[in-house]
Amino acid sequence: MAEYAGLLMFVAAFVFLLLGYPVAITLAGTALLAAGIGIITGDFNPALLSATPNRLFGIMTNQTLMAVPLFILMGVILERSKIAERLLETMSKLFGHLPGGLGIAVTVVGMLMAASTGIVGATVVTMGLMALPSMLKANYDPVLATGTICATGTLGQIIPPSIALVLLGDVLGNAYQQAQLNMGIFNPQTVSVGDLFAGAILPGLCLVTFYLLYIMGTAILSPHRAPPVATAAVTLQEIVYSILPPLLLILSVLGSILTGIATPTEAAGVGALGAFILALWSRHVDGPQFMDIGRSTTRTTAMVFFILVGASLFSLVFRGFGGDELVQALFAEMPGGVIGATAIVMLVIFLLGFILDFIEITFVVIPIVGPILMAMGVDPIWLGIMIAVNLQTSFLTPPFGFALFYLRGVAPLSISTLQIYRGVVPFIMMQILLLVLLTWQPGLATWLPSVLFPK
């Protein structure tokens, strides 16, 4: 029974999560409980727990993870300063007179918000409050309107620079080095957050293009579902005032990383400062609001790092029970070799996305399965993009997708839950199409990093 202790830890952790216990406390508590039982039975070496302080110190001194609170601050400022609201208003004027124009505007604004906030819940709720009433007032089909908002709200998983990619890049980088060390390569190559950002650009743009083509196609084939709207003419001043500042901010942050001018942490600092300047310039944020922004950033950052601490202890105890060796043996026995193992991992991650946020999945699952898959020859950048798109699809899939719950919470009662479910189905199909394209043509994710950051 001791050889299956690691898997039993997973089962126990999920049971406690389903009972409603906080994620960080569940992970750390399950690990300590399992370690205590293992010490009593003689199946766990207590000396392994002495590595915990070094692991925590490594988290505290991790330069890449310093980007997390800065990107969170950037996103919260842009969300609270009504920059997104003004951007949506201008985009609606710009495209509203076209068939499907409001849907196009929502998709473009959602893409820009995803690049600035990177948090699925915040984007879905914000777009639901801002865009859904306008779309319903314009006689848009509620099914199309809710599907568009949910789908664009999940773009924060794949559009850089996003917090999800920062965390995923750091974890995959460590897993890739561990995989190479396990293979006897003592001068390992590295995978950075910048690599993952570059790898996500083409898939992200492909997905946005799919969304736009679907909305335009629907408007042409079924005009009553996405009618044009009579809007006031947009002036050049409105375009410059509303669109240019956030666009320049996002391009400067992402561009500085991709060109090698700045590290992700340095670029995140620039982004946070730029967002602060934009908030002052917009004159929609006062002193008390800045205090609220600071508190919101601190709460989110503390949650992320608290989960990371719990996940670090969980993975340490899991490996102490030989759980990584058990997983490796299971993968080796799977039919289909590396393809079968990768498919099983993707399925498990997709299902976990129904009950866990991307942060827990990134910190708990990836450190365990990542080194094994990469030791089997899976490209780390391709794997990271596949995981990001996979989770994005999971967050959108009925009946447990997080994005559906977020929109249900702010949508009017006149819109049924079934309409929301029906609305996301075409977008789920488009995301599955992207996963198929990435499987068929891995270069879609790996080509740009190889050009920008040759090894």
**pLDDT tens, position by position, 65-106:** 888 888 888 878 877 777 777 888 888 888 888 888 889 988
Nearest one of 152, 193, 190 to 170, comparing CA atoms:
193
Neighbour count for residue 70 (Cβ, 10 Å): 25
Q: CA 88, 435, 354 angle in degrees (round to 5)?
A: 75
Rounded to whole angstroms, what are the CA distances from 241 to 21, 39, 107, 245? 46, 64, 20, 7
* Domain range list for the chain: 2-452
Under-70 pLDDT residues of the chain = 1-3, 115-122, 186, 284-286, 455
pLDDT at residue 212, as a whole number: 95
At how many degrees (to 10) do helices 193-221 and 380-396 cross?
Answer: 40
Phi/psi-derived region of residue 415, left when phi > 0, alpha when psi is between -120 and 50, beta in every other case: beta
Q: What pLDDT digit, counting tens, does each position of 261-279 carry?
A: 888 888 888 888 888 888 8
> How far apart are the C-alpha atoms of 177 and 83, rounded to whole Å?
41
Phi/psi-derived region of residue 82, left when phi > 0, alpha when psi is between -120 and 50, beta in every other case: left
**Residue 372 carries which side chain, given as an amino acid letter?**
I
> How far apart are the C-alpha atoms of 92 and 114, rounded to whole Å?
18
Nearest one of 79, 255, 46, 48 to 153, comparing CA atoms:
79
> How far apart are the C-alpha atoms of 254 and 114, rounded to whole Å?
13
**What's 335's DSSP letter?**
T
Does the pTM surpass 0.95? The reply is no
Buried b (16+ CB within 10 A) or exposed e, 83-114: bbbbbbbbbbbbbbebbbbbbbbbbbbbbbbb
**Residue 298 carries which side chain, given as an amino acid letter?**
T
